[in-house]
Amino acid sequence: MGAVGDLVAMAKLNEAVGQTYSDATRGLAPLKITKVRAITTSPRLVVVKGETSDRLLWAPL
């Protein structure tokens, strides 16, 4: 498969992923990032925590 075929395959995959996301989030309020914090755990390690408008959903970044 050449470069054009690869691009077509990637476009189809991107469309499928977008549709899956759309189906999974239908009816839910949009999430918003409300706070990003840098947490120093040691002199050479920093964890970045992202908090969202859903108070139970957060993720280390």
Kindly report, residue by residue over 2-59, the tens digit of the pLDDT.
888 888 888 888 888 878 877 887 887 888 888 899 999 998 999 998 888 887 776 6
Say what the pLDDT of residue 41 is.
93
d(CA 11, CA 7): 6
- The residues that bridge with 39 in the sheet, in sequence order, are 47
Say what the pLDDT of residue 2 is.
80
Say what the pLDDT of residue 5 is.
80
**Pair 25, 43 in one domain:** no
**Pair 41, 55 in one domain:** yes
**Pair 36, 60 in one domain:** yes
* Count of structural domains within the chain: 2
Element (H, E) at 39: strand 33-42
**Pair 22, 48 in one domain:** no
Say what the pLDDT of residue 1 is.
58
Boundaries of domain holding 24? 1-29
**Pair 21, 35 in one domain:** no
Say what the pLDDT of residue 61 is.
61
**Pair 12, 38 in one domain:** no
* The two structure tokens encoding residue 2: 């050449």
